[in-house]
Structure 1
Amino acid sequence: MLRVAVTMLSDWHVGTGAGRHGVVDRMVQRDRDGLPYVPAKTLVGVWRDACEIAAYALDEGESGVWGAWVEYLFGSQPALSERGVLPASGTGRPREAALVVSSLHYPRSVAAALAGKPLVRTAVTFPKPGVAIDPATGRAANRLLRYEEMARAGAVLVGQAEILGFAGLDAERQRCVAALLGAGARLVESLGGKRRRGAGRCRLEVDGLAVDWDWLRETPTPPGPPQQPETAAPSASSPVPSSGAAPEATGGDWEIAELRLVLDSPLVVHERTVGNAIRSLDHVPGWVLLPAVLQRLARPEAAEAARRGDLVVTNATVEVDGRPGRPAPLALVHDKEDASRLCNLMAESVPDGLRAELFDGAYVGEYTPGRPLPVRHCPRSEHAHNTIDDAVQRPTEQVGGVYTYQAIAAGTVLRAQVRAREGLLAPGWPERLAGVWRLGRSRKDDYGRARVTATPARPPDARPVPVGPLRVWLLSDALVVDERLRPSTDPAHLAAALGRALGVTLRPLPDPGGAGLATRASEARRLESWHRRWGLPRPTLLGLRAGSCLSFEVVSGTVDPEAVRRVELAGVGLRRAEGFGQVRIGDPLLHAAFRGAPADGTPTPLSEPAPPLPPLGEHAGMVRVVEEAAWRQEIRRACEALAATRRGRVLGEGYEQVPPSQLGALRVLVTNLTGPRDARAGWWLDRLTATRGRQSAWPEATRHQLRRLLTEPDTVWEILALPEADLTVTENGRAELRERLWAEAVRTLVTDCLTAHARAVDARGEA
């Protein structure tokens, strides 16, 4: 694992492409701590460009070995080849990037220190004015004044990088990788917006990369990168292929591992593409988690168990009261204006005055009679990116242009389960699932990093089945087929599959229409998936949507509670190992009548409790820059407020009697003031008393107040009354900043008061 650090040598801007109306036209991107950061895509883009320059020089202007190493590290660019921007690299599979980079953020100690100091945190950025120049007149064009948000210079942003498969390379190839990345890092001089106009100057440092420059000089023909395999090797994203027909599922009880996923970065689980926007699901399907589970178990019997249904990975949903959230039943509605008022269409009629509306993307917890039902939503975020055309150095449609990702927000806590038949896997297998996972789309850079903990859990006990119709709640999409093995969304085919699993015969209850309580609330869902190993689309999946509620009549047989327990653990229908077909039979929620009772909508915290604040250490200087900027902002704000309403407290009572020429002399004095012990201030004040004409022009109260203000170190701070505790982060920061900013505070305070006084005099004269 490599440590990557970028030191910003000038103010910088990595923007969102949006602004805040009336405040700023272009905003910087912020992380979940509210601090500016450098997205991994931005870093990878400039790092790749720098490595391409180095490779071009090492290959002496031709397409050679070093260019192949660039493609090995950063991946091929098939989209550019298809558009003719780059020459085609053959008909094989696109090469995946071996370099995995995280986004760069303020160090943990700095972010933690600023978290409780909002006044200091806001000083991390500042608005920078700008204009557009009219080419005809050479002057600022009308109505084109703009404000761009800039992050301050001096920041050190840190992250991590990893070279996949680096340990498997021989020594010569490892030197090639280190030399190319090291040379590229040295060539990175700036990043972000307006970097050709002085913004974004930086220094990129990579720790843990042993670069042998002597070897590079002495090796004219280095070895090339490993060849791209014809098919991808099994990995976290490539499940082990089947070697034949999978045997039937075995019996026995289950062992369960509870997975808790804390997202360190946003997670994109592709749902659909709409124009230039990639939309994400609000959960992580089991088919996304299964390859990662198989990779970490690293046992052939685990893959075989998954194919025969003896290993099940459920969907990862948002955590509700410490357990996996369950998709809200489609039979559960709420009032359009008051989402806390609930109604169960399968157990009660809609109360008068309740304008029913379905829950959209909600998850619920366990229902306990007499208590509010916990309802949560999975937080999602939007992220804008662009692809730069090298020819014009701007995003263009030919190379992809601007696009957005919708993602599950960073900090979200998700829950899932891995279930395996008892005795199938070696003891202690849940411990092998813990660690850092990378999931979803674009996981090589900004997205998909999750910290996973796995805890063994015992299977639930069997519970009584309610008398009457069998009510079934789908906790995940269910895939069933008809008599001709075609995908079906007909409840009758689900009844057949469920009946076989329970050992009974089921028949769907007919829909009563508007004459009675609902017997079914279901929807169909169509899923388009992709086979990464083959590089081809998979067949469309058509099934009943998660959250669907159906009622069945038991035609023959008796529903055994133990059989219900087995079905709820194993699932029903096809592809159960991937999380499909999870059901809940006879849940108390489906039989509950709320009569407009409220739900508990308290949001679940997005992240774990914060650990103790780490020491600032080497980053204290970086924090001092922001701290000083925050003090300056508060000084200006306080001076403006005092100048508007309390000038007498600053200049002393009777200052209005002083002639303008004498006030002008005071302005000149404070402009050149350096500190409370500046001899010029004492000499000037003594002259006011000694000179008869000046003594009469300056009232005694004014002279006394000015002497205190200009010669005592604490007077100006008493007058300003800054919230110093909220403005100070570093050790001894209060005392040091008081001393350093004393002259600036006095100068700003006196100048603002004199300016406000002059304006007031002019206003009275005009009146």
Structure 2
Amino acid sequence: MNRQDSKLTFPVSVTFTSDWGIGTGTGVVGGVDSRIERGDDGRIVVRATGLAGVIREQAQVVAEALDEGRSSGPWHRFVTKLFGTAEDPRLVAFSDAQADDATLGPHEVVSVSIDERTGAAKPDHLRIIERAPACKLTGSVTLLDTSMQGAAITWSDAQRDAALLVLSLAASLVPAIGSDRSNGDGACEIIVGEHADLEKFETWCRKALDHRPQPVPEAPKPSSKAIEAPRLSERAKTEQRQRAVLRIHLDSPVVSYAVPLSNEIPSEDFLRGTVLLPWVHGRLRQAAGQKSPDVQELVRDAVVNGDLYVSDALPVCEGVHGLPVPLVLTSEKGADEGATPRVWNRLIGVPSPERTHSPKRSGYVFPAAADDDTPIPLGAPPLVGRQATAHNPATGTAATGQLFLVRALPAGIDLEAEIILSERLARVFGAELPKVLSRPAQLGSRRLTGTFGRAHCGVDGVEPWTPADSRGWDEEGMTTLWFISDVLLRSPQLGAAGTLDDLITTLRNAGAGVERVDRCAVGDRYVAGLRHRRIDTWSAASHQPRATRVAIQAGSVIRVRPAPEANSGQVLEALRHLSCTGIGELQAQGFGRFLVGHPLLTRESFRSKKAEGFIPDSVADTRNEGEESHR
């Protein structure tokens, strides 16, 4: 039995008694050479990664002391599981510790490098660095109740008390944090838990040490029942589906997995359905735990039986949901960036051959509902770059060659994804879905560090799915398919496929009798715009990258017409029906989505403008100046 007061989140206070600083690795040209970390609201912070690092280092000392000098005793095993290994994710997560005083700012310190031989200052070695004054910062530490695979983690009272004891003793042993610790900077006192002062904290630690759990408990393990494998059973009926819009607000930078490049960890500028589907499905499974066995089986098998689909989460700009830029758009090369350059749709119009045009190959378009000549925003959300370095545990200094850069979607932006549910799944969760999914979440790569991955999700309600606004067949008897997510196809030989003929074959096999439009039928206009990209994702279960796939890139566009033997009305209805869940493989993860006859692609050209306003001004003005921003 667990006590009624068995909390899993505890406050962490860091009180610095001297100047201190944790550098960002960046400076200001002609001014400060090294700036210190600031949070999204401008406050001075100690990042969760740094806080976890110093406490983990001292936790190993605590474990060795409790094991009476043995290097592989029960406390050592408990601490190792608590902070995680390459095979087992950590069971504890820290948050950033922010300064209690929002008005507190850094001051500048001048330093020089001394010549070891002469004892004099070296020429051209004057540095101006930022340091923070003595102050108090507050954060938190949480014992995780859900694994990275969505399985429940249950903490007994003995396990909770053992974890709190280790964290408290380790925190009390941390002498300093930040740079220049050998010179006396960064001296601090860390308190874990709700204690009024250091004296009461030390008294509590002594009592907890005297009454520590005996025998030493094993670290909790994720419940095997929560991750029971799904089974193929009755497929969901496809006549009518329900939809819900999942709105995501990023409370911290979020890393959307991409293949690491040397010492850089890049990020996509959107969140894949591959990331969101496990979270949504896990929340539904937890909510179904108190329902009947039939409902539990329905939810367990929802993904494999076609009851649940989650699309990619794309950025929102000024309240308008973004769509991948169609790969048939071009604009005049060298156009005035301060004006509203005209963008041509090469499916419909042909610009003057006297002008050189460049294709639009990346970013998002944010089309409004109106068909007037109002400029349409084009662009992509900014990415922030944060530098970090690994430290040598023996010396406490930065390890040689361990500097790396992490790029991420910045805090403050909004994303939107679409959740598609079958009729039978919607009947179970229709009224409950906003309550089940409207909550904080940890998303993306590196989410357990505390510095990345914090977001808040919200769902307003469930409504019947209806096709997007479509113009149907045009006067030439054609329509446009605009793919708004990557498309994964397979050839008959089970290899990668991605040609125009492969797309047509897949559509035909799915019940839409269409054929491609020949180039000779449209003159100098385009009949398609296709590009390909590699798809890489990370498996949290096997702790390694999944196999690389080649996909048709989101934003690809093709023109199709009904096959001669097909009924045009039935073909159009089949295309609209397929647009709900997509075509190809991994549809449940958002792949293969497309729009039929979107009004934007019926226009010959339109005026554009640079997309801005991804981050509210109140957030953008206080964003960490040490973060490098890229578009």
Shared fold (TM-score, shorter chain, > 0.5)? yes
**Structure 1 equivalent of residue 505 of structure 2:** 496
**Structure 2 equivalent of residue 584 of structure 1:** 595
Rounded Cα–Cα distance in structure 2 between residues aligned with 1:514 and 1:22? 58
Alignment of 1:371-382 (within 5 A): 371-382=374-385
Matched, 1:567 2:581: no
1:703-760 deviation per Cα after TM superposition (whole angstroms, max 9, x unaligned): xxxxxxxxxxxxxxxxxxxxxxxxxxxxxxxxxxxxxxxxxxxxxxxxxxxxxxxxxx
Rounded Cα–Cα distance in structure 2 between residues aligned with 1:364 and 1:234? 43
> Contact 2:20 / 2:134 at 8 angstroms: preserved in 1?
yes
Rounded Cα–Cα distance in structure 2 between residues aligned with 1:205 and 1:226? 23
> Contact 1:176 / 1:222 at 8 angstroms: preserved in 2?
no
Rounded Cα–Cα distance in structure 1 between residues aligned with 2:123 and 2:205? 56
Rounded Cα–Cα distance in structure 1 between residues aligned with 2:521 and 2:404? 45
**Structure 2 equivalent of residue 35 of structure 1:** 43
Alignment of 1:402-417 (within 5 A): 402-417=403-418
Rounded Cα–Cα distance in structure 1 between residues aligned with 2:498 and 2:504? 11
Q: 1:454 to 1:488 in 2, by over 3 A?
A: same
> Contact 1:320 / 1:365 at 8 angstroms: preserved in 2?
no
Matched, 1:162 2:139: no
Shift of 1:434: 1.0
1:330-350 deviation per Cα after TM superposition (whole angstroms, max 9, x unaligned): 112234444542111211123
**Structure 1 equivalent of residue 480 of structure 2:** 471
Rounded Cα–Cα distance in structure 1 between residues aligned with 2:259 and 2:96? 25
| TM-score, scaled relative to structure 2 | 0.84
Matched, 1:226 2:222: no
Alignment of 1:202-213 (within 5 A): 202-208=188-194, 213=206
**Structure 2 equivalent of residue 332 of structure 1:** 329
1:358 to 360, 363, 367: 360
Alignment of 1:491-640 (within 5 A): 491-501=500-510, 503-511=511-519, 516-555=524-563, 556-557=565-566, 558-560=568-570, 561-594=572-605, 597-607=606-616
Shift of 1:100: 0.9
1:580-619 deviation per Cα after TM superposition (whole angstroms, max 9, x unaligned): 011011111112112xx42143512424979xxxxxxxxx
Rounded Cα–Cα distance in structure 2 between residues aligned with 1:128 and 1:601? 40
Matched, 1:173 2:159: yes
Alignment of 1:13-24 (within 5 A): 13-24=21-32
Rounded Cα–Cα distance in structure 2 between residues aligned with 1:509 and 1:240? 47
Higher fraction of strand: 2
Q: 1:180 to 1:598 in 2, by over 3 A?
A: same
Rounded Cα–Cα distance in structure 1 between residues aligned with 2:617 and 2:215? 48
Rounded Cα–Cα distance in structure 2 between residues aligned with 1:546 and 1:241? 31
Rounded Cα–Cα distance in structure 2 between residues aligned with 1:149 and 1:223? 45
Query: Given residue 134 of structure 1, which amino acid in structure 2 is its aligned partner?
Result: D
Shift of 1:511: 4.4
Matched, 1:241 2:241: no
Q: 1:144 to 1:321 in 2, by over 3 A?
A: closer
Rounded Cα–Cα distance in structure 2 between residues aligned with 1:350 and 1:150? 57
**Structure 2 equivalent of residue 56 of structure 1:** 64
Matched, 1:148 2:129: yes
**Structure 2 equivalent of residue 674 of structure 1:** none
Q: 1:435 to 1:227 in 2, by over 3 A?
A: closer
Q: 1:219 to 1:320 in 2, by over 3 A?
A: closer
| TM-score, scaled relative to structure 1 | 0.70
Q: 1:197 to 1:480 in 2, by over 3 A?
A: same
**Structure 2 equivalent of residue 99 of structure 1:** 92
Q: 1:241 to 1:330 in 2, by over 3 A?
A: farther
Alignment of 1:248-397 (within 5 A): 248-298=235-285, 299=288, 300-337=297-334, 338=336, 340-341=340-341, 342-351=343-352, 352-353=354-355, 355-366=357-368, 368-370=370-372, 371-397=374-400
Matched, 1:460 2:466: yes
Q: Which runs of 5+ in 1 are unaligned?
A: 79-93, 115-120, 611-767
> Contact 2:92 / 2:144 at 8 angstroms: preserved in 1?
yes
Shift of 1:578: 0.4
1:152-208 deviation per Cα after TM superposition (whole angstroms, max 9, x unaligned): 222x32222210149833333222111111111211232111122121122222235
Q: 1:440 to 1:602 in 2, by over 3 A?
A: closer
1:403-445 deviation per Cα after TM superposition (whole angstroms, max 9, x unaligned): 1111001111111111101232413242211101101111112
> Contact 1:297 / 1:429 at 8 angstroms: preserved in 2?
no
Rounded Cα–Cα distance in structure 2 between residues aligned with 1:475 and 1:12? 48
Rounded Cα–Cα distance in structure 1 between residues aligned with 2:52 and 2:92? 9
> Contact 1:4 / 1:160 at 8 angstroms: preserved in 2?
yes
SS of corresponding position for 1:302: helix
1:666-706 deviation per Cα after TM superposition (whole angstroms, max 9, x unaligned): xxxxxxxxxxxxxxxxxxxxxxxxxxxxxxxxxxxxxxxxx
Matched, 1:199 2:181: no
Rounded Cα–Cα distance in structure 1 between residues aligned with 2:462 and 2:154? 37
2:80 to 71, 74, 85: 71
- RCO higher in structure (CA 8 A, sep ≥6): 2
**Structure 2 equivalent of residue 401 of structure 1:** 402
Rounded Cα–Cα distance in structure 1 between residues aligned with 2:187 and 2:248? 37
Query: Given residue 372 of structure 1, which amino acid in structure 2 is its aligned partner?
Result: P
Q: 1:17 to 1:609 in 2, by over 3 A?
A: closer
SS of corresponding position for 1:23: coil
Rounded Cα–Cα distance in structure 2 between residues aligned with 1:165 and 1:598? 50
> Contact 2:78 / 2:219 at 8 angstroms: preserved in 1?
no
Q: Larger Cα Rg: Structure 1 or Structure 2?
A: 1
Shift of 1:55: 2.0
Higher fraction of helix: 1
1:9-40 deviation per Cα after TM superposition (whole angstroms, max 9, x unaligned): 22211111222222121111222233332111
Shift of 1:8: 2.3
Query: Given residue 530 of structure 2, which amino acid in structure 1 is its aligned partner?
Result: S
Query: Given residue 500 of structure 2, which amino acid in structure 1 is its aligned partner?
Result: P
Q: 1:16 to 1:137 in 2, by over 3 A?
A: same
Q: 1:600 to 1:529 in 2, by over 3 A?
A: same
Q: 1:35 to 1:170 in 2, by over 3 A?
A: closer
Shift of 1:219: 5.0
Q: 1:303 to 1:507 in 2, by over 3 A?
A: farther
Single out whichever of 207-216 and 421-430 deviates more from structure 2.
Answer: 207-216
Rounded Cα–Cα distance in structure 2 between residues aligned with 1:335 and 1:165? 54
Single out whichever of 62-71 and 410-419 deviates more from structure 2.
Answer: 62-71
**Structure 1 equivalent of residue 175 of structure 2:** 189
Shift of 1:529: 2.5
Query: Given residue 460 of structure 1, which amino acid in structure 2 is its aligned partner?
Result: T
> Contact 1:52 / 1:70 at 8 angstroms: preserved in 2?
yes
Identity of aligned residues (%): 27
What do you get for the CA RMSD once the two structures are aligned?
2.7
Query: Given residue 291 of structure 1, which amino acid in structure 2 is its aligned partner?
Result: P
> Contact 1:39 / 1:446 at 8 angstroms: preserved in 2?
yes
Q: 1:573 to 1:219 in 2, by over 3 A?
A: closer
Rounded Cα–Cα distance in structure 1 between residues aligned with 2:241 and 2:552? 26
Query: Given residue 587 of structure 1, which amino acid in structure 2 is its aligned partner?
Result: H
Rounded Cα–Cα distance in structure 1 between residues aligned with 2:280 and 2:220? 27
Q: 1:498 to 1:27 in 2, by over 3 A?
A: same
How many residue pairs get matched?
A: 570
**Structure 1 equivalent of residue 491 of structure 2:** 482
Rounded Cα–Cα distance in structure 2 between residues aligned with 1:450 and 1:346? 39
